[in-house]
Chain A
Amino acid sequence: MAAGDGSEVAVRSELRRVATNLVFGALAAAIPGLRVETLDERQELYADLGLDSLGFVQLLLELEGKLRVQLVDDELMTIELVTVADLIDLVERISLRAAK
């Protein structure tokens, strides 16, 4: 593996770690009583965490503030997220776009 590839993997890994922390923190802020240490990427947002459409809105607004970006309606209206990992993927995508 070339050195450049290794550093890209490291960057992606760090980005994933940051996105995961962001998402865990936002979930804990949006869902009263939820503790970060009990969260797992495989958990389902609705079935396991009880996140509904209003909670999802609050979560997105929380993430918007932390990412310092204005989320756009046409992207968000078409997505459906099942697991915590899906949400982390979304935050990664938004972070990468914002960085560009």
Chain B
Amino acid sequence: MKSGSDASGGRRAVAAARDPLLPTHWFNILHDRPQYVASAMSRSRLTGAAKRAGHGVHLQQPLSLARQSLNTTDRFIPIPDEVLDLYAQYRPTPLRRAVRLEEHLGANARIYYKYEGANLTGSHKLNTALAQAYYYARAGVKRIVTGTAAGQWGTALAYACQVMNLDCTIFMVRSTLRQKPIRGEMMQLFGAVVHESPSDLTEVGRRVLAEDPAATGTQAVANAEAIELTAEDSGSRFAVGSGENSVLLHQTVIGQEAVSQLARLGEFPDCVIASMGAGSNFGGIALPLLGAAEDAGRPIRLVAVESTACPKLTRGRYLYDLSDALGTTPITRVYSLGSGYVPPPVYAGGLRHHSAGPLASAMHADGSMEAMAIDQLTSFRAGMLFCQTEGILPAPESAHAVAGMIDVVSRHPRGEAPLVVLVNISGHGLLDLGAYRSFAAGEIEAVSADEASLSRSLSALEEFNQSIAEPAEAT
């Protein structure tokens, strides 16, 4: 083992070797658009529900993270040195022009992609996992508990917890854990305890299993199980990998790097495209580009690509909803299909969350971004094409972004100036080879939302909003 002085010398060397393209601050869109903070609202304020006596209040997350989610005064927020050193191990990430894909498509466009899959956990999730683990460790928390859908977040958090000497427990959605058990094994490699969700370890898991022993699981249930486990241990806290303002903030290193990298090439995109789970990879690339476009007084088109299995932006309602199945987390105003909606299993597990996060939802509501839904058959076709032309196999979620990008560039008229597009390849698909093999064998189907289930869930969501419409004082 290295001595302390050797280690600190090593850290100084790491700091000195940081690439100048690595941002030293996160970009805070809430400074430019403070109105986006207002879409988060406390549950108890809305419901005015009776509360159990003797129950105390405590911080669920470090105040440092909460400050970031509510900060409307600072446009740039410094990245702690320890986090910067860890970012420097894999950032800046590559920005490349997809020349062979352009030629294949015959598109009137210059296509650039940012590749977030080259870090050891394989996706953009590491950008917030390291930051969150840093703040939780500094706050004295001993263990982080979380829910993960596709597993990118779980893998990233498991590694970040190991780096920060934290214990880590992960509930992973059953359908995706069974599709790619190697994800769970990676998390265990980093020292995490992994449970399939729904599980019999928690009351909410047992309830779901009692109703349907073959339940495929959802992110909402996995999160609820994590929250329930956290409540039993004062040294544990629940963390999320998407949706919250602070999470999107941490991801803005992606877009800031892209702005600098494109500037070196003399480019600025007309259009930025990313897949949409709850909004972290979308926000990570889009928000700094939006800020840069507004600074330059030029228009920019932002496109979020969701799954037809979980079309919250294109078919959901902009209403107050819960983000976990227990209803413990604050109610926020989001585009949602209802927290009870169970999307059909698709390989892009990261796009199965029933709602977009509050910030992404607010952007969609005010017209700052567009949304489109892509089925998984189309997305795998696009992912395969990207692999064959660019040599990078995108994760199923990122393949949705590629498919959306192909749709956008194919509609751009030939007679106009070439469209400059930037697409975020948020993760690699090397752990999804089985899914790509199934695609190649013709075994993948275009999956859409189940209409009856969707209709029931949307009705329940509207009823829920009617039930909380009364002022709390009147109850």
Q: With both chains docked as a complex, state the minimum distance between the C-beta of A23 and any C-beta of chain B, in angstroms.
A: 13
Bound-complex Cα distance A80 to B141 (A): 14
In the complex, chain B residues whose CB is within 8 Å of the CB of A52: 42-44, 57, 330
Chain B minimum-CB-distance residue to A77: B139
Name the distance in Å between B324's Cβ and chain A's nearest Cβ: 13
Query: Are A77 and B140 also in contact (CB < 8 A) when A33-B471, A53-B330, A54-B40 are?
Result: yes
A73 touches B471 (CB 8 A): no
- Bound: A33/B43 CA distance, A: 15
In A49-88, which residues have CB < 8 Å from any B CB?
Answer: 50-58, 60-61, 71, 73-74, 76-82, 86
> Complex: how many Å from CA A51 to CA B51?
10
Q: Which of B42, B43, B140 has the most CB of A within 10 A?
A: B42
> Which residues of chain B are within 8 angstroms of A31 by Cβ–Cβ distance?
45
- A-contact 0/1 string along B300-311, CB 8 Å cutoff: 000000000000
Which of A46, A80, A81 has its CB near the most chain B CB atoms (within 10 A)?
Answer: A46
- B191 in contact (CB, < 8 A): no
In residues 116-167 of chain B, which contact A (Cβ within 8 Å)? 135, 138-141
Give Cα distance in the complex from A33 to B42, angstroms. Answer: 14
Are B58 and A79 within 8 A (Cβ)?
yes
Chain A 15-72 residues near chain B, CB threshold 8 A: 31-33, 44-48, 50-58, 60-61, 71
Query: Is B54's CB within 8 Å of the partner chain A?
Result: yes
Measured CB to CB, the nearest residue on chain B to A56 is: B57
Q: How far is the CA of A86 from the CA of B45 in the complex (A)?
A: 21
B53 touches A47 (CB 8 A): yes
Question: B63 contacts which chain A residues (CB < 8 A)?
Answer: 57, 60-61, 71, 73, 76
In the complex, what's the smallest C-beta–C-beta distance from B112 to chain A, in angstroms? 38
CA distance A53 to B48 in the complex (A): 15
Tell me the bound Cα distance from A71 to B42 in angstroms: 22
* Pairwise interchain contact A80-B45, C-beta atoms closer than 8 A: no
Interface residues on A, range: 20 to 34
By beta carbon, the residue of chain A nearest B69 is A57
Output the least CB separation between B236 and chain A (Å): 11
Give, as a whole number of angstroms, the nearest-CB distance from B126 to chain A.
22
Chain A neighbourhood of B70, CB < 8 A: 57-58, 61
B145 CB to closest chain A CB, in angstroms?
15
State whether A73 and B51 are in contact (beta carbons under 8 Å apart), knowing that A61-B67, A81-B57 are contacts in the complex.
Answer: no
Q: What is the CB-to-nearest-CB distance from A27 to chain B, in angstroms, rounded to a whole number?
A: 12
By beta carbon, the residue of chain B nearest A51 is B57
Q: Is the CB of B66 within 8 A of A82?
A: no
**Minimal beta-carbon separation of A59 from chain B (angstroms):** 9
Q: In the complex, what's the smallest C-beta–C-beta distance from A5 to chain B, in angstroms?
A: 34
| Cβ B58 vs Cβ A81 within 8 A | yes
Pairwise interchain contact A56-B54, C-beta atoms closer than 8 A = no
On whether the beta carbons of B472 and A74 are closer than 8 Å, the reply is: no
> In the complex, what residues of A have CB within 8 A of residue B330's CB?
52-54
A42 to B234, CA, bound (A): 24
Proximity string of chain B (51-63) to chain A, C-beta cutoff 8 Å, 1 when within and 0 when not: 1111111111011
Quick check: A50 and B56 within 8 Å, CB to CB?
Answer: no
Q: B139: which of A54, A56, A60, A74 is its contact (CB, 8 Å)?
A: A74
Chain B interface (Cβ < 8 Å from any Cβ of A): 40, 42-45, 48-60, 62-64, 66-67, 70, 135, 138-141, 234, 237, 330, 471-473
* 10 sample A-B contacts, Cβ–Cβ < 8 Å, listed by A number: A33-B471, A46-B51, A54-B42, A55-B42, A61-B63, A73-B140, A76-B62, A77-B139, A80-B56, A82-B55
Q: Which residues of A pack against B, CB within 8 Å?
A: 31-33, 44-48, 50-58, 60-61, 71, 73-74, 76-82, 86
Known: A77-B62, A78-B234. 8 other contacts (CB 8 A): A32-B45, A53-B58, A57-B59, A57-B66, A58-B42, A61-B66, A76-B63, A80-B58
